[in-house]
Amino acid sequence: MKQFDAKNIKNVALLGHGSCGKTTLAEAMLYIAGATDRFGTVADGTTVTDCDAEERKRHISVSTAVAPLVWKDVKINLIDAPGLFDFASGVCEALRAAETALIVLSGKSGLNVGSEKAFRSATKRNLKKVFFVSKLNSDHADYFKVVDSLKERYGNVICPVIVPYVENHKVLSYTNLVTGKTWRYENGKPVRCDRPDMGEIYDKMYNLLCESVASVDEVLMEKYFSGEPFTDEELFAGLKTGVASGDIAPVYCGAGQTGEGVELLLNSMVKILPSADEARPETATDQSGNVVELTCDPDGPLAAVVFKTIADPFVGKMSYFKVISGKLAPGAAVVNARTGDSERIGKVMTVKGGKTEDADYIAAGDIGAVSKLGDVKTGDTLTGAGNPLTLVGIEFPQPSITMAIAPKKTGDEEKITQAMARICEEDPSIRLENNRETHQQTVSGLGEQQLDVVLSKLKSKYGVEAELSVPKTPYRETIRKKVKVQGRYKKQSGGHGQFGDVWIEFEPCDSDTLVFEEKVFGGAVPKNFFPAVEKGLQDSVKKGVLAGYPVVGLKATLVDGSYHPVDSSEMSFKTAASLAYKEGMAQASPVLLEPIGMLKAQVPDDCMGDVIGDINKRRGRVLGMEPGDDGMQALAAQVPMAEVYDFSTVLRSITQGRGSFTLEFDRYEQAPEPVAQKVIAAAQ
């Protein structure tokens, strides 16, 4: 592909709610720009950006895809991000590589949770924002209703640019408010026509445009309030300035399925959106910890951020990167700033969905890919060896659901571990852990759909079938009263026998491990056998007497005993200690302890009652509430961890995806009797 200067490169992330039409819009843009020779569809699994087998099978986007196009000598790198919340890590990847967020809305459903989250995320990353209201060819689509909801939510930031003329619920033409020019579509092609009389609605939309433009410039503001009309040049200049500053988010419209309005969008993107060299300079850290400001300069020091990884069992690992400064060419020697390891760049490539094309180099502002790098992960910086620089990485959402994962076929455990390592490399929001206590492997992710895709990939890509189950809860056991018991072990056989005799006091204490002391007087038990007694107890506390869970909060004091000068040994005293343990635990009012987690949730105010009700059902205790971020309420609660494995699904349902939460282990406390009896019965 032809090389482009940074001033002629625009990196645009396509964001929005699931099924709002992002992938279809990307397909229309690619086709209209001549980047593809056929118009693929999501239903047929033939789109460029849904290139993964799981995406074709499910008809949804599950990972980020890159597809470049050229429009009027400007290269636009489209970065299509998934809309479903389970695959939110793809949004983080897309935002890291883009300067602009193109937020796609459905003309039917309008402003929804996915759109709000996209706007919030783009604002947090200081990206420029553009809206496209799609699916206007559908029944019940209403562009003006969508604009009203955007205006109500975001105020003067919202600036309509293209408006449709609708008769009998059908769009007949599209008008550019900046230029006043109108187009109708014939056989998918825009044709200039006269502007129809839209009445008050046109004046309303035009006034919204003027209000937004006036808000970014004092001279234009004075002119607006004096009642003077703006020229086309003033509107265009104000629009470009407002987009660059983030004070304006223009609104376009059309239908991705038919291509209507897409050419008008492309024209505006080329004219209005900031190019890679106009983006805010990035900061990096050098070896000494000094902050370095990097501009988009192909002759500057090399710094490229890896924003996506594909780990394919057949193709190998592919690292997608954006060059922030400098130039990355085949054969270059680079350093991974995180590890300090040197890497040799093989081929560098441009990417279009699932296809690649060799490139002579990838320069500052552009996006490319390189294969078979060593320990390079998503978020790493590839930099020059002379003065390594570290760019800001990517902050991924924390997993909110954890399930146990096991192979369906005995002996496939190692296969799962190896395959999951690659899957986790592709999506850092997925975690695989070995729980030594419960002897289970657990996989954590952002939702049930994401984990279902993990199972499907294990089977289709790595040939191993696995199943998920609710993970075991790591309970504990302890005692509630002090007792003194004897442990006596005597065994007579041919030759030497075995003899050990101990008196031990067991009592509760505040400790996560066994506390052992000895207060033996007069040599009743020789000192050389004390370690054996302690070892016998340490081995014993690994299993409690109720349900076999580890014992905590236990103090054992060796107070008396006896020995035989010939038959006593370390083994006999170790065994005597374990007998005393079993007897003492049974007499000391043993109880089951359950892990309690600290749950911190961000919840919309109107959903708070339902969320608190659900927490109460889980035996949780709400500790308090306070105003949170972006109009949400921050809720803190303590909840038994055995009760929250499906809380993420319920919270998403109650809050329609707006809510989020974190959960961290806090402490152990005594389980209620019905819960304890159920756990004990299951263990037996």
| Cβ atoms of residues 177 and 213 within 8 Å | no
Longest C-alpha distance within the chain, in Å? 115
Look at the domain 477-589 and name its fold: Ribosomal Protein S5; domain 2 (3.30.230)
Domain boundaries, the chain: 6-278, 282-391, 402-464, 477-589, 592-683
| Residue length of the chain | 684
pLDDT number for residue 438: 87
Asked if the domains 6-278 and 402-464 are classified in one and the same CATH topology, the answer is: no
pLDDT mean across residues, the chain = 94
pLDDT confidence tier of residue 414, bands split at 50, 70 and 90 = very high
Using 50, 70 and 90 to split pLDDT, how confident is the model at 139?
confident
Give me the pLDDT at residue 157, please. 95
What pTM value is reported for the model?
Answer: 0.90
pLDDT value at 433 more than 80: yes
Say if CB 545 and CB 504 are below 8 A apart: no
From CA 278, how far away is CA 11, in angstroms rounded?
A: 11
Coil vs helix vs strand at 664? strand
Instruction: Note the pLDDT of residue 315.
Output: 75
User: Tokens in use for 51?
Assistant: 């290139």
pLDDT score recorded for residue 188: 83
- The mean per-residue pLDDT over the stretch 345-361 comes to 94
Pairing of strands 401-407, 440-445: antiparallel
Buried residues in 510-526 as b, exposed as e (16+ CB within 10 A): eeeebebebebeeeebe
- Tell me yes or no: is domain 282-391 CATH 2.20.25.90: no
Confidence of residue 495 (pLDDT cuts 50, 70, 90): low
Burial of 211 (0-12, 13-18, 19+ CB in 10 A): middle
Cβ neighbours for 670, distance < 8 A, ≥ 6 positions apart: 591, 592, 593, 594
CB 623 within 8 A of CB 637: yes
Q: What is the CATH number of domain 592-683?
A: 3.30.70.240
CATH number of this structure's domain 402-464:
3.30.70.870
Question: Which amino acid is present at 131?
Answer: F
* Per-residue burial over 469-492, b = 16 or more CB atoms within 10 Å of its CB, e = otherwise: eebebbbbbbbeeebbbebbbeee
Residues 6+ apart with CB under 8 A from 561: 500, 501, 502, 503, 520, 524, 525, 576
Q: Is the pLDDT of residue 321 over 80?
A: yes
pLDDT of residue 90: 96
Distance CA 663, CA 479 (A): 28
* pLDDT of res. 612: 96
What confidence tens digit (pLDDT) does each residue in 528-555 have?
A: 999 999 999 999 999 999 999 999 999 9
For residues 512 and 593, give the distance between their C-alpha atoms in angstroms, rounded to a whole number.
12
The per-residue pLDDT for 217 is 87
Confidence of residue 628 (pLDDT cuts 50, 70, 90): confident
CATH superfamily of 6-278: P-loop containing nucleotide triphosphate hydrolases (3.40.50.300)
**Tell me, what DSSP letter sits at residue 255?**
B
**Contact residues for 233 (Cβ-Cβ < 8 A; gap 6+):** none
Identify the CA nearest to 25 among candidates 284, 255, 212, 253: 255
Asked whether the beta carbons of 541 and 550 are under 8 A apart, the reply is yes
- pLDDT number for residue 384: 92
Average pLDDT estimate for 498-525: 92
Q: Which of 222, 261, 229 is nearest to 137 (CA)?
A: 261
Q: Are 427 and 89 in contact (CB under 8 A)?
A: yes
C-alpha separations of 115 from 76, 502, 526 in Å:
22, 70, 75
User: At residue 494, does pLDDT exceed 70?
Assistant: no
The DSSP line for 99-155 is SEEEEEEETTTBS-HHHHHHHHHHHHTT-EEEEEEE-TTSTT--HHHHHHHHHHHHG
Model confidence at 565, in pLDDT bands (50, 70, 90)? Answer: confident
- 147-197 pLDDT, tens per residue? 999 999 999 999 999 999 999 889 999 999 999 999 999 988 999 999 999
Q: Residue 609: which pLDDT band, with cuts at 50, 70 and 90?
A: very high
